[in-house]
Amino acid sequence: MLPGLEGVLMFALYVTMGLCQRHLEINRQKAYNGLRLRAEPSQVGSKPAVGRLWHWESTFEALRNRDFRWLWVGRLASSATFEMSGVAQGWLVYQLTGSGLALGWVGSGWSISTLLFSLYGGVLCDRVEKRDVLLWTRAAMGLNSLLIALLISFRAIRLWHLAASSLFTGVMFSFLMPAQQAIIAELVDRRTLLNAVALDAIGMGLMGIFCASLAGAMIETIGVEGVYYAMAAFYAVALFSLSKLRRTGRGYPSTNSVWRDAWEGLRYLWHSPSLLAVMGLALVRVLFAMPYRTLMPKYAEEVLGFQAMGLGLLMAAPGLGATFGSLAVAAMGDLRGKGKLFLSSGMVMGLALLLFATVRSQAFIFPALIVVGAAGNICMVTNTTLLQANALAQVRGRVMSIYLMLWGLTPLGTLPAGAIADRLGVPWVVGAQGLIVMLIFSSLFLLRPEVRSLE
């Protein structure tokens, strides 16, 4: 163990225990004071949420809402297609070309489209029924998967088909994701919003664990075209579930141009200091807390001497932590102090990255990665919740589209990180990024009380 590591471990332990203690004390005080949270009209007569915030029953509270339940089923089906597509597209591109450059070129199409079209997607989501946007985009993506499957079946598939498919998928995601995020706040009340966002993340995590391996097995047994046919079938399931959603009547028609409405969304965010800070911290996560995943193969081989199996375990550890983190947030119910939890989880995430970079013992590396995944997912869930809960309904779609745009900036973090890692080594890069994340989140925790007090 490296010198001083004991102190780092103890500090990490104290931080984590302090967070748990703080939120448990808050919930105990609420129960002691006899506070009762008002139930949704559809839930009148159910037991109050307070007093069972950490019980299994409250973990799935948002699923009692009929419309959110159908939305969640559609989300599961769509997440399955996303994970299967990542495996099938990468495998097919490499089989056609044998080129790592082609893999990067085709894969970057999604990010480019997302970066270019997300604001337009946000404008559309604010103008029309979000349910309709979800139906249109998923229908188009299902047809896209079916077309690729047919091209493979007739041995007519070419690299440019996959590049065009990646670009098209990115465009559809630019409209789909703002609607997917913004509609949650319309289907559930504010009390249940954190639980709903956490369940949304749990669904994505579960599909990530199972469907990527399922796609690999299907390629081996029935061929890659079978994966694309299965994706089209999953999209049909998503369309069926979304068709069950009731209309909310929450579209806000506008006579302004698309450009002007997009600019209004940016102006709204700029003049909302708390939301701007939350969005800025989301960018910090994208640029400094995510690149470690792309460096994991290099770290596994050069630092730990792991082969493919060891790399798979390293990559699975954050996913396991993310699932635990989402379940923990879902079990918290209508937690008070969401801003504090957001900032605290960001600090713990940075600290865990720093710990991962400085430790060489396998006994600590895997727990550190589990903490990275758990804290990172808690940070993401609370980040999303704070944006949805505090943005005006009229501009919520545009705010969430800006949030989505940040993910298109991922290469700005991964490319420099990879270049520096070639010269200095992965531990130096990941350690520096973890320190940056921890310092930035800590600074806002201490200096920006308005962010700390967000609910």
Q: What pLDDT score was predicted for residue 308? A: 58
pLDDT band at 13 (very low <50, low <70, confident <90, very high): very low
**For the chain, what is the radius of gyration of the CA atoms?**
22
Residue with the larger pLDDT of the pair 340 and 294 = 340
Q: State the number of CA atoms in the 13 A half-sphere of 179 facing the CB.
A: 28
Token duo for residue 248: 């909310």
- For residue 364, give every residue at least 6 positions away whose Cβ sits within 8 Å of its Cβ, in sequence order, or none: 1, 9, 355
Q: What pLDDT score was predicted for residue 264? A: 83
Report the C-alpha dihedral over residues 97, 103, 108, 110, rounded to 10 degrees: 80
Q: Which of 352, 295, 294, 291 is nearest to 321 (CA)?
A: 352
Q: What pLDDT score was predicted for residue 204? A: 80
Backbone torsion region of residue 337, taken as left when φ is above 0, otherwise alpha when ψ lies between -120 and 50, otherwise beta: left
Token duo for residue 51: 């007093």
Token duo for residue 203: 């669904």
* CA dihedral sign, ordered 229, 233, 238, 242: positive
pLDDT band at 154 (very low <50, low <70, confident <90, very high): very high
Whether 1 has a pLDDT exceeding 50, the answer reads: no
Domain pair 1-26+57-62+263-455 / 65-245, same fold? yes
* Distance between start and end Cα atoms, the chain: 40
Q: What 3-state DSSP class applies to 44?
A: coil
Q: What pLDDT score was predicted for residue 97? A: 84
Distance CA 353, CA 361 (A): 14
Residue range 357-374, pLDDT digits in tens: 888 777 788 888 899 989
pLDDT band at 381 (very low <50, low <70, confident <90, very high): confident
Whether 389 has a pLDDT exceeding 70, the answer reads: yes
Q: Tell me the DSSP string of 162-207.
A: HHHHHHHHHHHHHHHHHHHHHHHHHHS-HHHHHHHHHHHHHHHHHH
% of the chain residues with pLDDT over 70: 82
Token duo for residue 94: 């490499």
Q: What 3-state DSSP class applies to 248?
A: coil
Please provide the size of the chain in residues.
455
Distance CA 149, CA 157 (A): 9
Residue with the larger pLDDT of the pair 231 and 45 = 231
Q: Which of 355, 286, 352, 337 is nearest to 455 (CA)?
A: 337
Name the residue ranges covered by the structural domains of the chain. 1-26+57-62+263-455, 65-245
Backbone torsion region of residue 305, taken as left when φ is above 0, otherwise alpha when ψ lies between -120 and 50, otherwise beta: left
Residue with the larger pLDDT of the pair 252 and 81 = 81
Q: What is the 3-state secondary structure (H, E, C) of 271-317?
A: CCHHHHHHHHHHHHHHHHHCHHHCCHHHHHHHHHCCCHHHHHHHHHH
pLDDT band at 82 (very low <50, low <70, confident <90, very high): confident
Residue 225's H or E segment, with its range, is helix 224-243
What single letter denotes the amino acid at residue 320?
A: L
CATH topology of domain 1-26+57-62+263-455: Growth Hormone; Chain: A; (1.20.1250)
Residue range 198-246, pLDDT digits in tens: 888 888 877 876 777 788 788 888 888 999 999 999 999 999 999 998 8
Whether 268 has a pLDDT exceeding 50, the answer reads: yes
% of the chain residues with pLDDT over 90: 23
Q: What pLDDT score was predicted for residue 19? A: 45
User: Which CATH number is 65-245's, of 3.40.50.300, 1.20.1070.10, 1.20.1250.20, 3.30.70.1450?
Assistant: 1.20.1250.20
pLDDT band at 55 (very low <50, low <70, confident <90, very high): low
Instruction: Identify the DSSP state of 105.
Output: H
Residue with the larger pLDDT of the pair 345 and 322 = 345
Whether 30 has a pLDDT exceeding 60, the answer reads: no
Q: What pLDDT score was predicted for residue 49? A: 42
Q: What pLDDT score was predicted for residue 3? A: 40
Residue range 280-325, pLDDT digits in tens: 999 999 899 888 877 777 777 777 777 656 666 777 788 788 888 8
Average pLDDT for the chain: 79
Q: What pLDDT score was predicted for residue 25? A: 45
Q: Measured between alpha carbons, how far is residue 48 from residues 106, 195, 243, 328, 333 in Å? A: 50, 15, 31, 19, 11
Distance CA 399, CA 385 (A): 12
142 within 8 A of 236, measured Cβ to Cβ: yes
Q: What pLDDT score was predicted for residue 9? A: 39
| Lowest-pLDDT range of 38-47, 57-66, 251-260, 316-325 | 38-47
Q: What pLDDT score was predicted for residue 8? A: 40
pTM of the model: 0.70
Whether 195 has a pLDDT exceeding 60, the answer reads: yes
Residue range 89-147, pLDDT digits in tens: 888 888 888 775 677 678 777 778 888 888 888 888 778 888 889 999 999 999 999 99
